[in-house]
């Protein structure tokens, strides 16, 4: 069971030590604080409670348990976080029958089969007549065998009449099942008895992770076949939104240069490495995503965009700047000289020119602002006004206030207009929501099928939580076993809570106290629950007397009951008045009776109900 693994991993790892690997923590009373890794801040509001095993940021209200932290900071899903932490804790996930069928094992198997497929493709490319079209394409692109081998390039043959050469090879010698090959994305799902290889008659580029494990493939068609590029489908091993082509070969150089060059295509990456620009990578099958930026941003301070010179490339670069800025990473834009189509073409013609172009890259906002000002500088009144509008729309996208202000002043100076009026327009533009949401990830034009739009997590507004509901929710979070008894003994139902989070916490804990953990709550509730847990509660220190806890709970229950009765009194009384106004005397009398019965049980509440 994943639940047991979660508990086991948590018990073996020290929350402070794990979080301390990402955030510098200082002790502050019973808790530790540091600068939040999830939002920019200068004074620490990120809090970790070793006692409660939760973390919470008072600034951006992110929070949760150990797993939530790893999910957030590594931008991975729960399953991947579990694998990562289990690995660190020395917990074997494969042991249980359920885990054996789980993602971890399927991922490993897909990676194994991908490695076998890659060896097969590489063999076909270099050692068989079938590989000749691939060798010809590489010759055409000036990629020699040593370089191609470094990147693991191979050739997927047409596969004979059954179009299944790889499938036959891997199910035969490779000992794989067809289902496993489908799972790894190497063959199409079976139709009847027929199994077809996914990649046929294509040059194949393995997409590997930092440890050079083959997660999936990108495959380029020969000639004009469509689609030009085809990628592995998302699987347990391959996630196109996080995979980065070339990262295994580029990582060391990225760390050394504190920067990474991002290009659009596989051949661009290979060409850049050939020209000695080894910190070059590409997103594969999608436009640059936040996940990719986030993982590159952990090892590089600056991302240098070196996209194709056409309109599509310029649009993609402009969008990528927003994605990078949203992650708080520096973006630069590299312009290719001499009308070069892409880095690959430039390197084939003039490698030093490419190296120089990368060195000459400029801050992205500067490049975008320059383009916006265009002919406006020193132009007519109309041209300057139009340029000011374009400049405002660029400025509105800069998330960081100081940077925005500096570029605003520069734009005002260059257009010879007052910074104040430009600033007024900017404020209006930002208020009107002209500022683009940066989290939209746009489909790469070359690969429409592989594009992805990231869905923002639906946000439930934080509703006010009355203090007594917060108190009780906190007790229940710390001692879920008390919740079930409380529900039976006091008859307190979840519906009596006004705050939805408190209601769900109480409901979940009282229904299944033994199985209750923070993980049982949805993302928003988990955050809010962490927020409740990091707050100091003197009445409820661990050493507090059981009697004191009972008293506290009884007080909370009484207040929640009373509040529920008060709300009922208000609504019945309103209903009664409406019935009376509308001449429904019988209804009104029935409601009045109900009202007095309720009020008899809670005489002290009567005067809090407005009487008309």
Q: Which residues bind Zn ion (CB under 5 A)?
A: 36, 38-39, 57, 59-60
Residue 535 Cβ vs Zn ion, minimum distance, rounded to whole Å: 16
Q: Which is nearer to Zn ion, 326 or 592 (CB)?
A: 326
Are the C-beta atoms of residues 216 and 231 closer than 8 Å to each other?
Answer: yes
CA–CA separation, 290 and 295 (whole Å): 9
Q: Who contacts 460 (Cβ-Cβ below 8 Å, separation ≥6)?
A: 500, 524
CA–CA separation, 347 and 340 (whole Å): 9
Are the C-beta atoms of residues 170 and 186 closer than 8 Å to each other?
Answer: yes
Q: Which is nearer to Zn ion, 46 or 245 (CB)?
A: 46
Structure tokens at 388: 């000011």
Q: Which is nearer to Zn ion, 48 or 271 (CB)?
A: 48
CA–CA separation, 371 and 393 (whole Å): 12
Q: In 448-499, where does DSSP find H-type helix?
A: 467-478, 480-490
Which residue(s) pair with 391 in the sheet? none
Residue 25 Cβ vs Zn ion, minimum distance, rounded to whole Å: 14
Q: Who contacts 31 (Cβ-Cβ below 8 Å, separation ≥6)?
A: 47, 48, 49, 50, 534, 536
Residue 45 Cβ vs Zn ion, minimum distance, rounded to whole Å: 6
Q: Which is nearer to Zn ion, 24 or 252 (CB)?
A: 24
Question: How, if at all, do strands 26-28 and 31-34 pair?
Answer: antiparallel
CA–CA separation, 132 and 146 (whole Å): 16
Check whether the bond before 227 is cis (ω within 30° of 0): yes
Residue 544 Cβ vs Zn ion, minimum distance, rounded to whole Å: 30
Residue 498 Cβ vs Zn ion, minimum distance, rounded to whole Å: 27
Residue 292 Cβ vs Zn ion, minimum distance, rounded to whole Å: 22
Q: Which is nearer to Zn ion, 376 or 531 (CB)?
A: 531
CA–CA separation, 313 and 444 (whole Å): 9
Residue 221 Cβ vs Zn ion, minimum distance, rounded to whole Å: 46
Q: Which is nearer to Zn ion, 60 or 386 (CB)?
A: 60
Question: Of the candidates 183, 207, 202, which has an alpha carbon nearest to the alpha carbon of residue 292?
Answer: 207
DSSP 8-state class, residue 152:
T
Residue 88 Cβ vs Zn ion, minimum distance, rounded to whole Å: 24
Q: Which is nearer to Zn ion, 60 or 353 (CB)?
A: 60
Residue 303 Cβ vs Zn ion, minimum distance, rounded to whole Å: 23
CA–CA separation, 550 and 542 (whole Å): 13
In three-state secondary structure terms, 461 is coil
Q: Which is nearer to Zn ion, 37 or 133 (CB)?
A: 37
Burial of 355 by CB count in 10 Å (0-12 exposed, 13-18 middle, 19+ buried)? middle
Q: Which is nearer to Zn ion, 228 or 439 (CB)?
A: 439
Residue 66 Cβ vs Zn ion, minimum distance, rounded to whole Å: 17
Are the C-beta atoms of residues 158 and 200 closer than 8 Å to each other?
Answer: yes
Q: Which is nearer to Zn ion, 63 or 102 (CB)?
A: 63
């Amino acid at each position: 069971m994943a639940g047991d693994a979660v508990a086991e991993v948590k018990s073996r790892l020290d929350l402070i030590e794990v979080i301390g690997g990402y955030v510098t923590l200082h002790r502050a009373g019973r808790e530790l604080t540091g600068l939040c890794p999830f939002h920019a801040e200068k004074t620490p509001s990120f809090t970790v409670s070793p006692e409660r095993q939760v973390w919470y940021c008072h600034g951006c209200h992110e929070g949760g348990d150990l797993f939530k932290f790893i999910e957030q900071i590594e931008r991975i899903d729960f399953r991947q976080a579990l694998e990562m932490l289990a690995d660190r804790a020395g917990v074997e996930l494969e042991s249980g029958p359920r885990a054996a069928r789980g993602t971890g094992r399927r991922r490993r198997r897909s990676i194994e089969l991908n490695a076998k497929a890659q060896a097969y493709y590489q063999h076909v490319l270099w050692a068989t007549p079938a590989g000749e079209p691939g060798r010809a394409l590489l010759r055409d692109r000036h990629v020699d065998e040593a370089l191609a081998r470094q990147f693991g390039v191979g050739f997927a043959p047409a596969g004979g009449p059954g179009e299944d050469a790889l499938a036959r090879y891997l199910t035969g010698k490779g000992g794989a099942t067809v289902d496993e090959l489908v799972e790894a994305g190497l063959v199409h799902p079976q139709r009847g008895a027929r199994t077809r290889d996914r990649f046929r008659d294509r040059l194949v580029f393995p997409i590997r992770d930092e440890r050079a494990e083959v997660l999936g493939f990108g495959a380029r068609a020969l000639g004009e076949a469509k689609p030009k590029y085809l990628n592995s489908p998302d699987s347990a091993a391959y996630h196109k939104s996080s995979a980065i082509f070339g990262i295994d070969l580029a990582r060391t150089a990225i760390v050394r240069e504190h920067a990474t060059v991002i290009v659009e295509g596989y051949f661009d990456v290979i060409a850049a490495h050939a020209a000695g620009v080894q910190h070059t990578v590409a997103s594969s099958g999608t436009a640059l995503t936040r996940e990719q930026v986030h993982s590159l941003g952990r090892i590089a301070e600056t991302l240098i965009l070196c996209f194709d010179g056409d309109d599509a490339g310029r649009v993609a670069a402009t969008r990528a700047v927003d994605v990078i800025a949203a992650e708080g990473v520096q973006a630069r834009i590299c312009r290719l000289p001499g009308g070069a189509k892409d880095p690959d073409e430039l390197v084939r013609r003039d490698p030093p020119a490419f190296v120089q172009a990368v060195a000459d890259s400029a801050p992205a906002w500067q490049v975008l602002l320059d383009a916006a000002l265009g002919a406006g500088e020193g132009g007519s009144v109309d041209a300057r006004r139009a340029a000011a509008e374009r400049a405002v729309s660029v400025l509105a996208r800069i998330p960081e206030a100081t940077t925005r202000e500096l570029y605003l002043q520069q734009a005002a100076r260059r257009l010879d207009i007052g910074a104040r009026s430009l600033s007024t327009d900017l404020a209006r533009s930002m208020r009107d929501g002209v500022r683009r949401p940066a989290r939209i990830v746009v489909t790469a034009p070359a690969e429409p099928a592989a594009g992805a739009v990231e869905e923002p997590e639906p946000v439930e507004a934080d509703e006010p939580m009355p203090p007594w509901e917060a108190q009780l929710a906190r007790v229940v979070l710390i001692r879920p076993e008390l919740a079930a008894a409380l529900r039976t003994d006091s008859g307190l139902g979840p519906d009596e809570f006004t705050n939805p989070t408190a209601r769900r916490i109480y409901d979940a804990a009282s229904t299944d106290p033994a199985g209750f953990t923070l993980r049982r709550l949805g993302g928003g509730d988990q955050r809010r629950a962490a927020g409740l847990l990091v707050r100091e509660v003197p009445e409820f220190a661990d050493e507090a007397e059981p009697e004191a806890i009972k008293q506290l709970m009884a007080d909370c229950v009484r207040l929640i009951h009373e509040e529920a009765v008060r709300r009922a009194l208000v609504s019945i009384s309103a209903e009664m008045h409406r019935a009376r106004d509308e001449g429904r005397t019988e209804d009104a009398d029935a409601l009045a009776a109900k009202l007095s019965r309720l009020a008899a049980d809670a005489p002290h509440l009567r005067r809090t109900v407005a009487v008309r």
